Structure 1
Amino acid sequence: MEKADILRHTNGGLDVFRHYVPGNWRVGKPFLNPFYKDTHASFNIYYDKRSATYYMKDFGNPDYSGDCFALVAMMAGRNCADKEDFITVMETIAHDMNLFLPTKPEAGHHCVSPAVVTSTPARTSFTLTEHALTPTELAWWKAYGITPEVLQRYRVSAVSEVFFNNGNHLVATAARPTFLYRFQDSDDCTLKLYSPFSRNRFMYKNKVDGQLFGFDRLPPKGEVVVLTGGEKDVLTVSSLGFPAFCLNSETATLDEALLNGLKERFRQVIVLYDMDETGLRSSMNLCTLHALQRIKLPLPGSKTEKDISDYVRMKLAEGISPEEVAVQFRVWMEEAKTPEEEVLEPCLIRHSLPPVKPDRVLSINFQSVASAGGVVCITGGSGTGKSNYAGAILSGTLHTVLEDSIDTLGIQVAPNVKRKAVLLFDTEQSHYQSYENLERILLRAGVTTQPDYLQVMNLCRIPRREREALIEKALDMAVRKHKGIYCTVIDGLADLIASANDEDEAVRIVEWAQRLAEKYRMVLISIVHTAGLPEKVRGHLGSELTRKATAVIDIETDKKSGNSLVKVLKLREGSPVMAGISMFGWDEKKKMHVSCV
């Protein structure tokens, strides 16, 4: 299958646009973009004479620019620049539009290639011979919880042979059956062949616009109707006792008039699409556009575990009865949520569901400084010992049992019992200075060999705009390798943004740090400079960080002794007054900073 084949059989892509873009629009005339809440008609489908191809252009939203493949890729969450994604896009178009383009013959089928048809419904592309469903075929459907009564109600039959106009011949067997979906009772309705074990599983005949599988079997009124991702899912949901129908594909648009009619007949319209990338993206777009609720199945989204039919098959194989599965499905329907509600769900605090209490990691004088998931701000002027203080904390994380012999400069560090990852990202100092800091971390911990779970990275050579992504990638790798992250230090958080005085950037980077700490259930320590005055953290970044941090520790130089003076300015989990004030200074013999008694 080639790009040129699709363009040749779809009038340069115009038929593809007409298939996926709803409404009575005209080529070359601007209209409202139906894929979002557009208020100004600036969306256009136009013809490019040089390439003999149709393109789209939305002057109000540059995302909607390109040919018909770009449109389908956007709807399916694919990237046309990716070879595998582009193949998927072409296969989606061919399937949705009944474009039976030449493919390789399959074992067990005496069919070279079906006749090629365009998006105009072809009424004579093939003829077929039907037969009543055999016990073997009924057993195949039963594995998905689909009953003979439902198959009969939805006019599903079995096919013995298919004769194509080009002379090809398909013979179904017990091992490779073919079934027929009939969309309505009339003779000229849409017909769809379903060969579950073939590469080309679906073939249309008499594809009639506006006919949707299962729609004519919906009751006049009811509590709920389920929009599924395909015909088999309609049959499964119906067998569970709930009315259902499907569009011609998950990437198809839902007609506004049809939806309004459903809302008048049913209290609730629920979307139940596949759990793969395309299904999740399509259900998200559909539910967001029309304020609908959706069910997200507890499935990984793999080829054999992605839809409600797969779920029912798996549960029945475990010995769970269809009635029990139906009860679970009803619970899911009652818990169905809009995309906005899905975002809010993790934010809800319920007294009956207390969260797991995070482990305390850092404390000063028995006052909690930070637990797992907390953000700590260490601030101070240049050369006051901020990096060395953070390094002392990292030294404490290198032990799996409590070590009183380690001088962590007045802050107590809980043992890293599970040897989770410990990371230091340096954005300020040279590579050699970072190496010296690593040496002092190991020296203070009494460790001669760097543990593999301790990672020190100097990001000075990395452009600022790329540092966030690199840090996230490093954290992902660390959590996979070491089954968790204990503590992360970012020495120079301000160096991840262009300016510490940019309020929007400051808010964004602090929220980013909070998300990372919560996501990995780690303590994240951020080191920032003061603004030239003691206890005044630099810029909008400092203001935002001091508000959001669980603890703020200020380190300044004591004018009398020249040592570093540690003041706890804020403790969300304890008392700054009880934490007290401490000092540390350089010990030439030990070649590191030590606590001052």
Structure 2
Amino acid sequence: MKEKEKTEPEIDVTELWQQARLLITDEVKIPPIVLRVDESIIGTLGNFSASTGKAKSKKTFNICTIVAAALTNGTVLNYRASFPDGKRRILYIDTEQSPFHCKRVLKRILLLADLPPTVQPETLEFLSLRRYAPKIRLAIIEKAIYQTDGLGLVIIDGVRDLAYDINSPSEATDLITKLMQGTDERQIHIHTVLHLNKGDDNTRGHLGTELNNKAETILQVTKDEFDKNISSVTAMCIRDIDFEPFAFRINADSLPELVEDYQPKQSGVAKSFDYQEVPEEKHREALESLFANGETFTYALLIPKLKNAYSVLGYSFGTNKAKLLKTFLTNKWMILKEGKIYRYNPGYHY
């Protein structure tokens, strides 16, 4: 006798309908915020986001900083991570590079996190899936997501390699649905990487369209038009408030470092802070409040704190304006830079 053909289990649509009902009286919890740029929310548990950019725009370098921030639950470049206890494990999947190049990425993450580059952290698992077919890659990722305890962040560097046809609407929908299902059922955040089209700034294929429609945030990494050593990061799409663009360059240690006071080169953009905008006594009041008790700050912390200190006094600045203010204050010796730390100089002469 022939074996009976296997059939998919019958779906109880009535039960799913009841589970999907949402009432105004239902208590719905705010999803935990796990990733920010400045004060903008770019990642929450139960959602997914993406990075995109042209080839060689340094997307993977940018991803490394996000992972390093998550690994330390701290700040790297402008990324600030705050994963709750029990959600500190990270799964990094690379679908494009050889094991040799993947190991370089792994080492870069550890160095950015100030961790020894010869010891594998217990909270970080790295998978190199270049050798497998798309169907097998996706199966491995699903198995890892559902069987890794304490998982909080999943990076998929090369989501295009999980699909056979990037322009297939049905395949794109199925893939993005699987990502959304995984984030919801496991209460994790997934961050993916996808290229932009060569001829324009649109994400590639139907897969890119689905990403744009469903992602919480799409970050765009772009080489600076006037300095190819610099890459800027902007919010291509974001559900929360937008953040000011920031930029990084690759230093002598092959690590991304923040370009301080970065300003996109555009005509009509202010190049300096107008000293007449804020009276000297207000500068002193803001700085004495900010640096109370001899506190010091790194650049990444200083900019948002300057914004807050001046806003209390009625001066509201965006991030770019706060960067110009910081340059003005250092040029006036009102704040001093010592290594990577900034401190207040109460004895300055205005």
- Report if aligned partners of 2:71, 2:88 keep a CA contact under 8 Å in 1: no
Letter of the 1:583 partner, please give it.
A
- Report if aligned partners of 1:419, 1:453 keep a CA contact under 8 Å in 2: no
Gaps of 5+ in 2: 261-350
Match of 2:246?
582
**Do residues 447 (structure 1) and 127 (structure 2) align?**
no
- CA shift at 1:355, angstroms? 2.4
Helix, strand or coil: the match of 1:457? strand
Matching residue within 364, 372, 392 for 2:65? 392
For 2:53 and 2:174, locate their aligned partners in 1 and report how far apart those are by CA, in whole Å: 22
- CA shift at 1:538, angstroms? 0.7
Higher RCO, Cα 8 Å, sep 6+: 2
- CA shift at 1:365, angstroms? 2.2
- CA shift at 1:534, angstroms? 4.9
- Report if aligned partners of 1:374, 1:550 keep a CA contact under 8 Å in 2: yes
Match of 1:375?
48
Letter of the 1:520 partner, please give it.
R
The 5-angstrom pairing of residues 23-62 of structure 1 reads none
Structure of larger gyration radius: 1
- CA shift at 1:496, angstroms? 0.7
For 1:417 and 1:361, locate their aligned partners in 2 and report how far apart those are by CA, in whole Å: 11
Match of 1:414?
82
The 5-angstrom pairing of residues 100-115 of structure 1 reads none
- CA shift at 1:522, angstroms? 0.9
Q: What percentage of aligned pairs have identical amino acids?
A: 23
The 5-angstrom pairing of residues 11-410 of structure 1 reads 66=2, 70=4, 339-400=12-73, 403=74, 406=75, 408-410=76-78
**Do residues 511 (structure 1) and 177 (structure 2) align?**
yes
For 1:468 and 1:522, locate their aligned partners in 2 and report how far apart those are by CA, in whole Å: 17
- TM-score, normalization by structure 2: 0.69
For 2:137 and 2:14, locate their aligned partners in 1 and report how far apart those are by CA, in whole Å: 32
- CA shift at 1:460, angstroms? 0.5
For 2:165 and 2:192, locate their aligned partners in 1 and report how far apart those are by CA, in whole Å: 16
Letter of the 1:388 partner, please give it.
F
- CA shift at 1:468, angstroms? 0.9
Count of residue pairs brought into register by the alignment: 257
**Do residues 567 (structure 1) and 234 (structure 2) align?**
yes
Match of 2:132?
462
- Report if aligned partners of 1:425, 1:456 keep a CA contact under 8 Å in 2: yes
Match of 2:255?
592
**Do residues 497 (structure 1) and 163 (structure 2) align?**
yes
- Report if aligned partners of 1:566, 1:583 keep a CA contact under 8 Å in 2: yes
For 1:360 and 1:517, locate their aligned partners in 2 and report how far apart those are by CA, in whole Å: 14
- CA shift at 1:415, angstroms? 4.4
- CA shift at 1:419, angstroms? 5.4
Match of 2:337?
none
Letter of the 2:15 partner, please give it.
E
- Report if aligned partners of 1:426, 1:457 keep a CA contact under 8 Å in 2: yes
For 2:237 and 2:44, locate their aligned partners in 1 and report how far apart those are by CA, in whole Å: 15
Match of 2:265?
none
For 1:388 and 1:461, locate their aligned partners in 2 and report how far apart those are by CA, in whole Å: 22
Q: Assess, with a 3 A threshold, how the Cα gap between structure 1 residues 557 and 478 changes in structure 2: closer, same or farther.
A: same
- Report if aligned partners of 1:382, 1:529 keep a CA contact under 8 Å in 2: yes
- CA shift at 1:345, angstroms? 2.7
Match of 1:329?
none
For 2:84 and 2:15, locate their aligned partners in 1 and report how far apart those are by CA, in whole Å: 35
For 1:591 and 1:438, locate their aligned partners in 2 and report how far apart those are by CA, in whole Å: 13
- CA shift at 1:450, angstroms? 2.3
For 1:441 and 1:376, locate their aligned partners in 2 and report how far apart those are by CA, in whole Å: 19
- Report if aligned partners of 1:500, 1:540 keep a CA contact under 8 Å in 2: yes
For 2:199 and 2:220, locate their aligned partners in 1 and report how far apart those are by CA, in whole Å: 11
- TM-score, normalization by structure 1: 0.41
Gaps of 5+ in 1: 1-54, 56-65, 78-280, 289-338
Letter of the 2:231 partner, please give it.
S
- Report if aligned partners of 2:138, 2:162 keep a CA contact under 8 Å in 1: yes
For 1:522 and 1:477, locate their aligned partners in 2 and report how far apart those are by CA, in whole Å: 13
Letter of the 2:23 partner, please give it.
R
- CA shift at 1:494, angstroms? 0.6
For 1:491 and 1:485, locate their aligned partners in 2 and report how far apart those are by CA, in whole Å: 17
Letter of the 1:444 partner, please give it.
L
**Do residues 429 (structure 1) and 102 (structure 2) align?**
no
Helix, strand or coil: the match of 1:422? strand
**Do residues 475 (structure 1) and 145 (structure 2) align?**
yes
Moved runs in structure 1, 4+ residues, more than 6 A?
Answer: none
For 2:254 and 2:245, locate their aligned partners in 1 and report how far apart those are by CA, in whole Å: 24
- Report if aligned partners of 1:584, 1:595 keep a CA contact under 8 Å in 2: yes
For 1:549 and 1:531, locate their aligned partners in 2 and report how far apart those are by CA, in whole Å: 18
- CA shift at 1:376, angstroms? 0.5
Q: Assess, with a 3 A threshold, how the Cα gap between structure 1 residues 486 and 419 changes in structure 2: closer, same or farther.
A: closer
Q: Assess, with a 3 A threshold, how the Cα gap between structure 1 residues 399 and 416 changes in structure 2: closer, same or farther.
A: farther
